[in-house]
C-alpha cells in the first residue's frame, strides 16, 4: 500500500433490512494515521456502517477493503486479526479484574493463547501491559478493580484493551458519551496522541461536534443512509446541507 492509499475503504456499501435501505450506497476512504469521523443525525446509518465494517453484519452489496484486501462479510475475529478493532458506546469490562489483568488477557488473546491464560502470563506481558496502562493514564490504577474506576478511566481502560491487540485501525463508537468536560478532553488528547505520535488510524462516531471538529482530519456526514458531505472539517462545517440536516439541530 502506498503512503497515499486508504487503509480502509467502503465502496458502494449497502445494507437492506426487510426492504428498508439502512445504508444506501456509502463510499468512505480512511487514510493511515488520521482521525476520520462519521457523523449524522439519529437514524442516519452510522451504527449500521460500523457493524458492517467490523463484521457484525454482512453487506447486502458493496465492498469493504482493509489494506486492499476485501473483508466484507468476514467474521469479526477474522477482521480483528487483520488489524481492525473497536471500542463500544456502552463500556464492557470484566469488572472484577484489575486493569493490569484485563490488558494482559487481551495481549494473550491476540496471540491465540486463550486456554489457561494465567499460566501463560509472562513477566514480559506484565511489563508491556504496565507500559500500555501508563500510556493511557492508568498506571496508578493498574491493580485496582476495573469496576471501581471512574467512567472516564473505564473508557481509557477499554482503549488500552483494544490497543493490546496491536491494531492498525481502531473504530470508536461514541467514546466521550456520558463524560465530564475534563474526561472528554482527556480522551481527545489520548486519541490525538495515538494518531499523531503512534501512527494509529481511528474511525470515530461521535455526537459531540466540538470533539469531532477538534480532533478529526476528515469528516463524513451521513443522512438517511447516504453520504451528504465528506472532507476536511472546515469545509464540512460550512456545507449548507450539513447545517440543515445535522449541525443546525444542535444549536
77: domain CATH number is: 3.40.50.300
One domain for residues 173 and 66: yes
Q: Does residue 190 sit in the same domain as residue 230?
A: yes
**Are 73 and 181 in a shared domain?**
yes
> Rounded distance, CA 204 to CA 39, Å?
8
Q: Are residues 157 and 212 in the same domain?
A: no
Write out the three cell numbers for 136. 493511557
Domain boundary among 166, 181, 199: 166
Burial of residue 89 (CB within 10 Å: 0-12, 13-18, 19+) is: middle
Q: Domain total for the chain?
A: 2
Do 51 and 78 belong together in one domain?
yes
Give the domain-ending residue among 166, 185, 214.
Answer: 166
Instruction: Judge if 138 and 158 occupy the same domain.
Output: yes
Structural domain containing residue 20? 1-83+169-251
Can you tell me the distance from the alpha carbon of 19 to that of 194, in angstroms, rounded to the nearest whole number? 40
Query: In this structure, what C-alpha cell is assigned to residue 193?
Result: 496522541
Same domain, 136 and 212: no
The one-digit pLDDT tens for each residue of the chain (251 residues) are: 445 789 999 999 999 999 899 999 999 999 999 999 999 998 899 999 999 999 999 999 999 999 999 999 899 888 988 999 988 765 667 788 899 999 998 888 777 655 555 555 555 688 889 999 998 889 999 999 998 998 889 988 998 998 888 899 999 988 888 888 988 898 899 899 989 988 999 999 998 999 999 999 999 999 999 999 999 999 999 999 998 888 765 43
79 with 106, same domain?
no
Q: Pick the last residue of a domain from 166, 183, 198.
A: 166
Q: Among 239, 244, 215, which Cα is nearest to 229's? A: 239
> From CA 93, how far away is CA 144, in angstroms rounded?
13
Amino acid at each position: 500500500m502506498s503512503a497515499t492509499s486508504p487503509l480502509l475503504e467502503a465502496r458502494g456499501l449497502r445494507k437492506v433490512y426487510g426492504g428498508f435501505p439502512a445504508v444506501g450506497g456509502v463510499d468512505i476512504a480512511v487514510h493511515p494515521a488520521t482521525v476520520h469521523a462519521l457523523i449524522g443525525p439519529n437514524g442516519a446509518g452510522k451504527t449500521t456502517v460500523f457493524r458492517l465494517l467490523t463484521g457484525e453484519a454482512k453487506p447486502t452489496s458493496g465492498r469493504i477493503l482493509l489494506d486492499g484486501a476485501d473483508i466484507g462479510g468476514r467474521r469479526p475475529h477474522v477482521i480483528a486479526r487483520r488489524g481492525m478493532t473497536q471500542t463500544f458506546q456502552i463500556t464492557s469490562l470484566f469488572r472484577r479484574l484489575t486493569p493490569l489483568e484485563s490488558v494482559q488477557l487481551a495481549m494473550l488473546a491476540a496471540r491465540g493463547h486463550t486456554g489457561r491464560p494465567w499460566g501463560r502470563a509472562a513477566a514480559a506481558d506484565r511489563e508491556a501491559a504496565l507500559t500500555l496502562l501508563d500510556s493511557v493514564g492508568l498506571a496508578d490504577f493498574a491493580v485496582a478493580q476495573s469496576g471501581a474506576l471512574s467512567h472516564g478511566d473505564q473508557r481509557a481502560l477499554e482503549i488500552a484493551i483494544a490497543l493490546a491487540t496491536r491494531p492498525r485501525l481502531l473504530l470508536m463508537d461514541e467514546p466521550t458519551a456520558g463524560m465530564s468536560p475534563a474526561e472528554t478532553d482527556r480522551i481527545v488528547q489520548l486519541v490525538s496522541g495515538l494518531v499523531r505520535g503512534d501512527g494509529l488510524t481511528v474511525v470515530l462516531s461521535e455526537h459531540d461536534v466540538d470533539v469531532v471538529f477538534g480532533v478529526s482530519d476528515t469528516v463524513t456526514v451521513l443522512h438517511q443512509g447516504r453520504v451528504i458531505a465528506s472532507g476536511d472539517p472546515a469545509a464540512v462545517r460550512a456545507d449548507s446541507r450539513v447545517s440543515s440536516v445535522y449541525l443546525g439541530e444542535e444549536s
